[in-house]
Structure 1
Amino acid sequence: MALVVLLASAPFHAQAQTSGGAAVADREHIAIAQATFTPTDAEFENPERGFYRAASTDLDKLGADEVAKAYADGYRLIYARINLAAYRDADLPQSYLKKIEAGFATARRGGVKLIVRATYNYPNGETEYRDAQDAPIARVKDHLAQLKPVLRRNSDVIAFVQAGFIGAWGEWHTSSNDLTSPENRNQIKTALLDAVPDTRFVQFRYPPYIRDWSPHLPPLTAALSGAFRLGFHNDCFLASQTDVGTYDEEPALRAEQQTFTDELGDLGPFGGETCNPADDPNAKPRTACSDILSEGARYNLTYLNDDYYRRLFHDNWIKDGCMTDVRRRMGYRFALVSATHPANASRGGPLSISIVVRNSGWARLYNPRAVEVVLRDPVSGAVHRITSHSADPRQWLPDTDSAAMLDIVIPKDLPTGVQEIWLALPDADSRLAKDSRFSIRFANADDAAKMQNWNPSLGGFSLGTRVEIR
């Protein structure tokens, strides 16, 4: 049972009882409900974070069975490629764009979000990429203009966009059309940021390019407002001293680039995959638990390919006993610490709930998300959802306890009487807001004695407190 504290503003006269039996002062006193919460080490599948599964086919062919299998296996992210190989010299047909749109719809129905990358080639081996073909700059820009409305219409199920388009695998190297020249990559970066929904980040493959565009990283407010939308994906994470060409060969310059990506992760998302360092003859892969735990935290690792390259990395993390910790800590991990609010409120009047949230994950939340106060009638089960605009969970930083004030207005038509208080973090998009599969689960343990529990149907966690509506 939540504690109710009496803060007297006048001499005490009498007390009434709430339905839960806790004392509440009369109107000459202020009654405050307080609750504390217990964190849990359990693994939870949450949106836009964690290990991802790469789709076995392209986005335009993404099937419901594959998405359902991924969801059942605990994945909430799927990597999906937009395959442009057939259109290096042609516009994208409307029939193809409709198939891409259908792929997004399949993800939406299946409860997952996508990491999206468009490519003109996908070589089969780690060393068979030198003859890969991309498209001329004009064609790339035309394709981005055609993809723009599709991407923007489906922003709800896009977690992150990897830059793609240039070179082998769309990884911004070995371009057959000189797309890696400063002028061309600048144009493509600008076109990408224009095409991708304003609320989503674009992740680029090489830190020096990002550093050229933004040598002095802005404050967090720029990322929260959408003024800064650059992220980094490392597709040879931990594979060698340079992560197979991701960083410079020269140690001092490499250290500067790594410091930059460390700071970049505070603003934009970092993710990717490990790789087979076959193309680096002097590779020294960093395969120990100490490596993934330290570098995951340093660079704010949000997601990682679960299937590649397992032999050197994932299998070692399992053998050495840290895989569970990696799964828990990748991305954000929010747990309620405490909550305080008045025990009484008036219809049409304000209610403020003070909370403290601990983020024990490696990263912050990058995409916009609502904070919702859910009032639930303990007898009828009727629910009223009220979005609070006074808190932004993207500001709940990793390895930090963050205080937030949730200010709401009680609906004028809410029935008088006792209401339970729940907290929810639904998706910000109206198409997904009522789908609890896309809600973030707090990493708190259920506690029957305190009436605290996660409700998957509500997509919310009970504070175990109540408010008397007058």
Structure 2
Amino acid sequence: MFDDKKIKKVFCLGLVFLCYGVAIAQNRVISYATSSEDFPNPERGFYLASHSKPGDLKEDELIKLRTTNSIKSSNANYATFITLIYKGYLLTEFRDKPIIDDFLNQLQSDFDITRKAGLKMILRFAYTNTSHKGDCPEGQICPPYGDAPKEIVLKHIAQLKPLLQKNADVIAVMQEGFIGIWGENYYTDYFGDASKNDLGYMPDSSWRDRNEVLKALLDALPPDRMVQVRTPRIKQHFVYGVHAPLKPAEAFSQSDKARIAFHNDCFLSSEDDYGTFADYGSSTSPKKPANKILRNYFEQDSKYVAVGGETCDDAFSPQNDCGPKGHAEEEMAAMHYSFLNVSYNNLVNNDWETQGCMTAIKQHLGYRFVLEKAILPVNQQITDSLKIDIQINNQGFASPYNPRKANIILRNTSSKEIYTIALKTNVQKWFSGTTHINENIALPREIKPGQYEMLLHLPDVAKSLNNRPEYSIRFANNQVWESQTGYNSLNHLLKIIK
């Protein structure tokens, strides 16, 4: 006679699951097809720069940017989806007085319109965007430059703080601004002029003043938002001159050091990107080149912070071209770029289109998540932990720089009732390359037996945006995205039994 128990055990092992008189979940392996489609995703990609007055944003125009593969620029020969707008607000009329209520009210209107349209802002304030020639050593840019003293800057930041706190949900990142022409922290009347027009180096007192402004900005924002600075030396001086980049344990900790990010507004424009990677000196050390040292620092630190900017000159060709002659994509990947200006400098950007690498750049700025494989149970007892194993590849240059949830969604196929289960994984640490989500998760106590679709949802953490599909991350796979919900289907049915 045959031993029924032995037969059952052999049969169960053959199906890659164990059973000892009781059925335990059988797993199914799902593979996913990668999509090459270009589509919008929040907080990444090419951004549109707007220098209009506060209150001039139009909801229908912003929606069109996000939903239409187009560009609002007459000299661009390429098109793209846009989920980020750069807003550079000028405070010229307030250089010696408080910001008036009307300006602040109009600024709130812009935040409201941006939220309704499903976009986010890259935000900067400056006192002047105008330079003038003259009889000075620099020639093309001469003092007085037209920015404001520290006491005015700090008062303005204090005035803006309530608005920044209230509307941080639609601020992707804030740039330090305020100091110097264009808010780029160089040509300034009050914070140390390291150009040939003045001392030619940055005195210690000026570094302290700059640190005070940066600290005020960090404090004006919620702790989960970053402030981008124009050069790596600005960050290094803020952290007391320490040259070491962020350590993995420090990343995304919401400490001041972890929240200082970078914008390079002359990306790929010269050997040191027009002084981006220069050491501007101090009271005890001269101004000097530091291109190799600061590039190495930038590459390591940028893995954990928001990086963006714009190109500003096509003269650095072929280096700023597509490969193999240039290294545009290589540099974006090494420095973890999440966004670039869509319309400046289009002599550079247009080259990427004609040379054939623009499609890849559009897709890979920031994150681009691809579902590769999942191992999921077919049947699940209601009292047991749900074991999931999901393999994701980030084909982008960077990981998401702002906090983001990762949820498993269980949706009943009959009643359409939805249950949300939060995962422990940190989406900010889904760096370029492969990430495994391997977790045992408890089913909600109130869940009912039945058949459930399994989906993956990466929503915004803000309550105001949590249920908005426009603010959820879409995976680059065929037949997984649900535009009405913002969910990504795992293409799997789970049967929950008692």
> Same fold by TM (over 0.5)?
yes
Counterpart of 2:73 in structure 1 is none
Counterpart of 2:203 in structure 1 is none
Residue type of the alignment partner of 1:265: S
Cα pair distance change 1:433/1:349, threshold 3 Å: farther
Shift in Å at residue 222 of structure 1? 1.8
Task: Tell me how large the CA RMSD over aligned residues is.
Answer: 2.7
Counterpart of 1:19 in structure 2 is none
Q: Distance in 1 between matches of 2:128 and 2:484?
A: 42
Counterpart of 1:194 in structure 2 is 219
Residue of 116, 137, 143 corresponding to 2:156: 143
| Stretch moving more, 114-123 or 49-58 | 49-58
Counterpart of 1:168 in structure 2 is 181
Within 5 Å, give how 1:91-106 maps onto structure 2. 91-106=98-113
Q: Distance in 2 between matches of 1:251 and 1:387?
A: 50
Counterpart of 2:260 in structure 1 is 230
Say whether the 8 Å CA contact 1:371–1:426 is kept in structure 2: yes
Partner SS for 1:335: strand
Shift in Å at residue 60 of structure 1? 3.9
Within 5 Å, give how 1:175-324 maps onto structure 2. 175-178=188-191, 181-214=206-239, 215-227=243-255, 228-248=258-278, 253-276=290-313, 286-290=319-323, 291-311=327-347, 313-324=348-359
Counterpart of 1:402 in structure 2 is 435
Shift in Å at residue 259 of structure 1? 0.8
Counterpart of 1:62 in structure 2 is 57
Counterpart of 1:3 in structure 2 is none
Cα pair distance change 1:362/1:116, threshold 3 Å: same
Partner SS for 2:108: helix
Residue of 370, 374, 382 corresponding to 2:417: 382
Cα pair distance change 1:413/1:12, threshold 3 Å: farther
Partner SS for 1:66: helix
Residue of 36, 45, 50 corresponding to 2:45: 50
2:105 maps to 1:89: no
Residue type of the alignment partner of 2:470: R
Listed one character per residue, the Cα deviations across residues 385-441 of structure 1 (whole Å, up to 9, x for unaligned) are 3322x111111111x111123454322332211101011111111110100011100
2:408 maps to 1:373: yes
Say whether the 8 Å CA contact 1:55–1:62 is kept in structure 2: no
Q: Distance in 2 between matches of 1:304 and 1:68?
A: 19
2:473 maps to 1:440: yes
Within 5 Å, give how 1:121-140 maps onto structure 2. 121-123=128-130, 127=140, 130-140=143-153
Residue type of the alignment partner of 1:149: P
Shift in Å at residue 378 of structure 1? 2.2
Partner SS for 1:276: coil
Residue type of the alignment partner of 1:412: R
Listed one character per residue, the Cα deviations across residues 162-188 of structure 1 (whole Å, up to 9, x for unaligned) are 110000000001111235621211111
2:494 maps to 1:467: yes
Q: TM-score, normalised by structure 1?
A: 0.88
Shift in Å at residue 72 of structure 1? 3.0
- Residue identity over aligned pairs, in percent, reads 31
Q: Which runs of 5+ in 1 are unaligned?
A: 1-7, 15-22, 447-452
2:125 maps to 1:118: yes
| Stretch moving more, 125-134 or 238-247 | 125-134
Cα pair distance change 1:30/1:200, threshold 3 Å: same
Cα pair distance change 1:88/1:417, threshold 3 Å: same
Q: Distance in 1 between matches of 2:222 and 2:398?
A: 22
Q: Distance in 2 between matches of 1:251 and 1:357?
A: 44
Counterpart of 1:417 in structure 2 is 450
Residue of 6, 9, 17 corresponding to 1:11: 9
Residue type of the alignment partner of 2:376: H
Say whether the 8 Å CA contact 2:268–2:316 is kept in structure 1: no
Shift in Å at residue 293 of structure 1? 1.0
Q: Which runs of 5+ in 2 are unaligned?
A: 1-5, 69-80, 134-139, 194-205, 280-286
Residue type of the alignment partner of 1:303: F
Aligned length: 443
Counterpart of 1:4 in structure 2 is none
Q: Distance in 1 between matches of 2:444 and 2:7?
A: 27
Shift in Å at residue 56 of structure 1? 4.9
Shift in Å at residue 461 of structure 1? 1.6
